[in-house]
Amino acid sequence: MKIRTRLTLLFTVLVASLFIVFASILYWSSAQHRENEFYGQLEREAITKAKLFFEAKVKPQTLHRIYKNNSQHINEVEVAIYNRAFELLYHDDVEIDRVKETEEMLASIIANKILHFEQEEWQVVGLRLTFDDKDYIITAAAYDEYGFTKLQNLLYTIAVLALLSIIVIGTAGVFFANRALSPIKKMINEVNEITATSLNLRLSHEQNKDELALLANTFNEMLNRLEYSFDAQKQFVSNISHELRTPLAAIIAELELSLAKEQTREQYVMTIENALADARRLVRLSNSLLDFAKASYDPTEIAFKPVCLDEVVLDACQKLQRINKSYKFSFFIEDSVSREEMMVVSANLYLIQVAFVNLLENACKYSENEQCNVSILYKDNHLIVKVSDTGIGIKPEDMEAIFVPFYRGENEYFKQGNGIGLPLTKKIIDLHKARIAVESLVGKGTTFTIHFPPG
């Protein structure tokens, strides 16, 4: 069921129930009032007739005539008078005699002095009155036609009003629910307009601070983030294809050239070596991308275990030395690291190794002397690893961008690369809840510092 229908129904049912409760109370209290009022009227009538009979000594025939006359126009009260011996002294209309007085009834009137009860639809009042020191029982009975008609009219009026009110309330409910929910309808239409190709669209909203404006704002902020990451993805994919195309184009061009005309053995060897170097570049790139994808996993899906950082650094040095014999490493553990356990961090061994290989390789790659210095120290509860070189350095304007995928600094002319190493390293460091900082002076060297949080 739509919220609009639910709201309308709820609103209508609630107000209608309230109305019905009020109307029922009103009807019940009116009915109660009519009954009491009529009993009072009967009492007055009984007393008046008894006084006429006993005090004014009006003859029974005269009283009968008055009764007969009145009965033709109104619902006249039928009065009967008994003595204590339960003998009938007077009766307005013995032939009809609506109230069949019994001895128990009369005894109860004597005992209680006054009695109210109903016989069929007639209301009856029984009174014990004293005239000349003698007790008499007077009963007065009548049907309250006027009162019941008024009550009936009230019931009709309430029923018609209730029906009309429910219709008005229902219509008002639909109107207000529509009005209240129209911004949501508008939002749904606007959201339906937003597709992958129109992520720049945003939800319009009033400038006030109501919940819907907040919802639209939150949604717009989410769209900002989505658009940003969509653009970043697009950029990433186009960079990858560019990075793949360049070495592939070089391989194809070289192989086509050597096929086009006869070459010397040395020229063939050179072509093969060049193609091999380009193919290796491609393999490095695809491996880096694979690692980048791994480092982008949900951290809860990556296995962490205690890892000794000095071993990780030594492994990275050995690995790099196998690839490039001319790379040199100096490794130093400061005195602040007094115990072996201080170098243990919770890490994913494979990824943390990738990060250090990148840092150490860059240090050698961007230095004339191909020398990298690594030191491990302990400060303020943090294990710190510094990777420094005395190489060409990074220009201040490149400092921010070197962690952006595929960005290569102004010094890229110096050595080949693909701009994936540092962003990948940063991603891995972030994944380990560690922090990476860089300091560099052009022509003097660069230092990357990694702070590991306390285990």
Q: Binding residues for ligand ADP, per CB under 6 A?
A: 358, 362-363, 366, 389, 391-394, 398, 402, 408-409, 411-412, 417-423, 446
In a 3-state reduction of DSSP, which class is residue 120? coil
Q: Which is nearer to ligand ADP, 122 or 236 (CB)?
A: 236
Our CB check for ligand ADP shows the closer of 34 and 294 to be: 294
Nearer to ligand ADP, 98 or 284 (CB): 284
- Kindly tell me which of 231 and 410 has the beta carbon lying closer to ligand ADP: 410
Q: How far is the CB of 421 from ligand ADP (least distance, A)?
A: 3
C-alpha span between 52 and 131 (Å, rounded): 11
Question: 412 vs 430, which CB is nearer to ligand ADP?
Answer: 412
Local structure of 302: helix, strand or coil: coil
For 170, the token pair is: 């229902």
Closer residue to ligand ADP in complex, CB, 115/363 = 363
Strands (E), 24-107: 78-83, 88-91
Amino acid of residue 26: L
Residues 342/379, Cβ–Cβ less than 8 Å: no
- Helix (H) or strand (E) holding 238, with range, is helix 211-260
Which DSSP category does 74 fall into? Answer: S
| Joined tokens for residue 300 | 């809860």
Supply φ then ψ for residue 434, to 5 degrees: -100, 180
* DSSP tag of 453: P
154 Cβ contact list (under 8 Å, min separation 6): 26, 27, 30
Please report how close the Cβ of residue 367 comes to ligand ADP at its closest, in angstroms. 7
Q: Do 167 and 158 form a contact (C-beta atoms < 8 A)?
A: no
Do you know the residue count of the chain?
A: 455
What is the spatial distance between Cα 349 and Cα 304, in angstroms, rounded to a whole number? 8
Tell how many helices (H) and how many strands (E) occur in the chain.
Answer: 9, 12
Q: Least separation, in Å, of the C-beta of 395 and ligand ADP?
A: 8
Closest approach, Cβ 196 to ligand ADP, in A, equals 29
The minimum distance between CB 231 and ligand ADP, in angstroms, equals: 20
Q: How far is the CB of 435 from ligand ADP (least distance, A)?
A: 17
- Class of residue 411 by CB neighbours under 10 A (exposed 0-12, middle 13-18, buried 19+): middle
For ligand ADP, the closer of residues 183 and 417 by Cβ is 417
| Buried residues in 58-95 as b, exposed as e (16+ CB within 10 A) | eeeeebeeebeeeeeeeebbbbbbbeeeeeeebbbeee
Shortest distance in whole angstroms from residue 370 CB to ligand ADP: 11
Task: Find the shortest distance in angstroms from Cβ 429 to ligand ADP.
Answer: 13
Closest CB to ligand ADP among residues 408, 432: 408
By beta-carbon proximity to ligand ADP, the closer residue of 15 and 438 is 438
User: Cβ 228 to ligand ADP, closest distance in Å?
Assistant: 21
Minimum separation from the CB atom of position 288 to ligand ADP (A): 8
For ligand ADP, give the closer residue by CB, 63 or 394.
394
CB 50 within 8 A of CB 138: yes
The CB-side HSE value for 244 (13 A sphere, CA atoms) comes to: 11
